[in-house]
Amino acid sequence: MDTIITDNSLKGKMITLFGENLRSNFSSDSEHIRSIRLQAIERFRELGFPSPTEEKWRSTNLGKTLMLEYVQHFAPLEKDIDVRKVFQCEVFDLDTILVAQYNGWLVNKGETLTSLPNGTVIGSLADAMRQYPEIFEKHYGKYADMQHDGLNALNTAFAQDGLFIYVPEGVTVEKPVQIINLIDLKENFFVQPRNLIVLEKGASLRLVHCDHSLRHKESLINNVSEFYVGEGAYLDHYKIQNKDNSSTLITTTFFHQERESRVSTNTIVLHGGVVRNNISVKLAGEYAEADILGLYLVDREQHVDTHVHVDHAVPHCTSNEMFKGILDDQASGVFNGHILVRREAQKTLAYQNNRNLLLTDKARIHTKPHLEIYADDVKCSHGATVGQLDPEAMFYLRTRGIGEHAARMLLMYAFAAEVIGKISIQALRERIDELVAKRLRGELTICDQCVIDCREKRPVSFDIDLSKI
Amino acid sequence: MLFIKDLEVSIEGKKILKGLTLEVKPGEVHAIMGPNGTGKSTLANVIAGRDLYEIGGGKVSYKGKDLLELSVEERANEGIFLGFQYPVEIPGVSMTNFLRTAVNERRAYHGLDPMPAGEFLRMMEEKKQLVEIHSQLASRSVNEGFSGGEKKRNEIFQMAMLEPELAILDETDSGLDIDALKVVANGVNKLRRPDNAFIVITHYQRLLDYIIPDFVHVLFNGRIVRSGGKELALELEEKGYEWLKAQAPA
C-alpha cells in the first residue's frame, strides 16, 4: 500500500507543481502550448502514474522509483552557462553535428538554436517553441498519444526543453546529428525532456541519440519524442542507452510516417537500472516502410522493457521488427510487440521477431507478440525465441581449441551482431560493435564509456568524433 | 600416439561401443568403415571430448596422457582435430574471427604470443589454396549458407590452419560429388606427414581410392571385427556389409 500512497503523493505533488509553474515558468507560453499543457495535466490527473495493474505495465513496477523524493528544475540551473567551460571538446575530426542536453536543458556551445545554410534548424525545443509557432501548431503533441498514457500526459504538461530539428523539403542533412543527454546532479533528479523532429517531404536525416548519466544518483527520466516523417522522407535513428543502475529511464518515441517515407530506428541498451522503451510507429501514408530494431544487454538486477506498437493504418506498408536480448545474472526483460493492421490496410507486410538468450537460470524474459489484424490480404509473421547458447556450436568451437569462456563470448557476440550489422553509419557501427564486445566481456562499466570521462573530476568533456562515442 | 583399449561407451543407457581397441602411430592413416549405427561417429566424438556419452570402461591414452581427463579444448590444443560429419553453422561469427581465435588460443596454450595479423592473413591465403577455396570466405560467417561441399572443404581448411597431430575425419566424404571428393582427399594427402596421423571414418570405399589408408578397420556392433590393409576396403565394397553381419558374433 505504501507504493500507492507515495505514488498518489508524487502525483499530487506534480499537480501542485504544475499550478505553480503555470504562473511562473510556463507563463510565457503561447496560447497553443498553454492549451495543450492544460489538457495534458487534466489527463494526467485522471490517469496518474502507471501501475502494475495495467496490462502494459504488468512486468515493470515503478513503485520503488515513484516512492523516492526527486528534485526538479523548471529553469536551467545556471542561466548563463558557458557551455565551453562545462564541456571540453576534444574534436579533431568533426563529422557529426553535436548537441547536448544537460540535466534536461539543451546546451549547444552557447547557441541553443542553429540554422544551417540549407534551412535545417537544430537546437532547443524551448527556443523553437517561441521562434517557430507555426511548426508547433502543426505538429507538436499531434503524434504523441496522451489519452492512454499518464506518463506521456505528464511529460506534455511539463515539457519545456529538448531537441528540436526541422529539415525543410528536399533537404538532406549530410552529417549525422548526435544528441547526448547527460544527467549530472548531486541530488535525486526527475527530468522530462521533450523532442520534436520534423522531416518535410523528401528530407533526410540521421540522428544518434545517446542517454548517459554521470553520477550514481537516483534519476527518473520521462522522455517523449515525436517524429514527423513527411512524404518520401528518410529517417535513420539510433538510440544508445548507457545508464547506471540507479536510473529509471522511460523513453516514449512516436513516429508518424507519410507516404513512401522510410524509417529505421535502432535502440541499443548497453546498461541501465530500469529501462522502459515505448516505440510507436504509425504508417499513415501508403508505401511507407519502417525497420524497428533493437538490442538489449542486461545483467545483475537490471530490467529492460520494450513495448513496440506498429499501426498499419493504410494499404501497402511494410514494417519489420527485430529485437534481440542477452540477459545475464538475475536480469529481467519484457518484450511486447503489438502490430495493428486496420481494415483498410490491405497488402500490409508486417514482420516481428524477438530473440533472447538467457545466460543463467535466474534471468527472465517475458515476450509477448500481439497481432491484431482486421484486413484479409496481408502478410504478417511473428516469432519469439528464448534460449541458451547452442550446445552444438559450443562443442564445435571448443574442438577448435577455443576455451569455453571465449566460445561463449564468440556466440553471444554473434547473436548480437545481427542487429549491430544493420547500423548504416559505419563509424557508429564499429564503435557499437566494440562497445558490445566490451560489454559482453564484462569490461564496460558506466564510467568507461562513450565520450565521457568523469572519473578524474575533470570538467565533462566529450568528443564529437562518432567513432569515439 | 593414440591407444584405445577395451573402450565401452553408452548414450542414455544404450551401449554403443562394446570394447573397442585401436592403436594409431605417427605417420599412419587408419580407415574405419562399417554400416550406419555401429558406433563410428560415437568413436570420433568420444575422442574429441563430446560430453553426451558415458564411458563404461576401458582407457584412451594420447601422447602418453589420459585423454579422457582432458577438456574438449585441451584435446584440440594437444593436437586432436575432429572434422565434423555435419559442420555447425554459426551465424555472426566470421571465418577470420573464428580461426584467429582458434589459432591464438592454441598459441596461448603453448605459451606463445598471438600471431601477428599480417602473418595470420598470409597463412589463411596459403591454406585456402590447399582446398581450392576461392570465395571471399574470410568475411563470411562460419558455415552459414555454405553448400554441403563447401562445408566439408571448410573442415579441411580448418584442419590445414590448425595443423593437428591427429585428425579424425567423420564421414567427410558424405554428400560430396566426385570433384569435391577429390579436392578434399587431395587436401588431406598434402597434409600427411611422418609426424601426424589420420583416422578416416567412412561408409563407402570410394574415398579410400583417393586417400590411401595404411590400415582398414571394420566396426560392427560396437567392436572392430576385422582389421587389414587397404585391400580390406575393396573386399567390403565387393561383398557388402551383409557379409560381415553373417560372420559377426551375435
What's at A306, amino acid-wise? T
* Sign of the dihedral defined by the CA atoms of residues B112, B116, B117, B122, in that order: negative
- Give the domain range for residue B226: 2-91+149-247
Element (H, E) at A344: none
In the predicted model, is pLDDT for residue A463 greater than 90?
Answer: no
Instruction: Select from A400, A429, A440, A441 the residue whose CB has the most chain B CBs within 10 Å, as the one to mutate to test that interface.
Output: A400
Q: What is the pLDDT of residue A454?
A: 36
Q: Per residue in B42-88, pLDDT tens?
A: 999 999 999 999 999 999 999 999 999 999 999 999 999 999 999 99
Q: Which grid coordinates are listed for A65?
A: 522509483
B191: number of Cβ within 10 Å: 18
Contact across the interface for B92 and A415, Cβ inside 8 Å: yes
Q: How many domains does chain B divide into?
A: 1
Residue B140 belongs to some domain of the structure: no
Instruction: Select from A324, A326, A394, A402 the residue whose CB has the most chain B CBs within 10 Å, as the one to mutate to test that interface.
Output: A402
Q: Per residue in B4-15, pLDDT tens?
A: 999 999 999 999
DSSP letter for A172, please: B
Residue B135 belongs to some domain of the structure: no
Give the integer Cα–Cα distance in Å for A266 and A195.
Answer: 17
Contact across the interface for B76 and A401, Cβ inside 8 Å: yes
Residue of A392, A396, A403 with shortest CB distance to B105: A403
Give residues with Cβ within 8 angstroms of B20, minimum separation 6.
B4, B6, B7, B8, B39, B43, B58, B219, B222, B223, B224
Q: Per residue in A325-341, pLDDT tens?
A: 999 999 999 999 999 99
Q: Is B73 on the interface with A (CB under 8 A)?
A: yes
Q: What is the pLDDT of residue B248?
A: 58
Q: What is the pLDDT of residue A256?
A: 98
- The residues spanned by each domain of chain A are 80-285+423-468
Residue B202 belongs to some domain of the structure: yes
* Sign of the dihedral defined by the CA atoms of residues A456, A460, A462, A468, in that order: positive
Residue of A nearest to B99 (CA): A400
Q: What is the pLDDT of residue B151?
A: 92
- Return the CATH number at B230: 3.40.50.300
Give the integer Cα–Cα distance in Å for B2 and A40.
Answer: 78
Q: Predicted confidence band at A212 (pLDDT cuts at 50, 70, 90)? A: confident
Residue B109 belongs to some domain of the structure: no
Residue B10 belongs to some domain of the structure: yes
* Sign of the dihedral defined by the CA atoms of residues A406, A408, A414, A419, in that order: negative
Q: What is the pLDDT of residue A83?
A: 47
Q: Predicted confidence band at A417 (pLDDT cuts at 50, 70, 90)? A: confident
Q: Per residue in A87-138, pLDDT tens?
A: 443 332 347 788 888 888 887 666 788 899 999 999 999 999 999 999 999 9
Contact across the interface for A406 and B91, Cβ inside 8 Å: no
In the predicted model, is pLDDT for residue A179 greater than 90?
Answer: no
DSSP-assigned beta bridge partners for residue A248: A220, A274
Q: Is A215 exposed, middle or buried (0-12, 13-18, 19+ CB in 10 A)?
A: middle
In the predicted model, is pLDDT for residue A190 greater than 50?
Answer: yes
Q: Predicted confidence band at B237 (pLDDT cuts at 50, 70, 90)? A: confident
Residue B116 belongs to some domain of the structure: no
Residue B184 belongs to some domain of the structure: yes
* Residues A322/A335, Cβ–Cβ less than 8 Å: no
Residue B33 belongs to some domain of the structure: yes
Indicate the pairing of strand B54-62 with strand A274-283.
Answer: unpaired
From A237-241, A383-387, B137-141, the region with the lowest mean pLDDT: B137-141
Q: Predicted confidence band at B149 (pLDDT cuts at 50, 70, 90)? A: confident
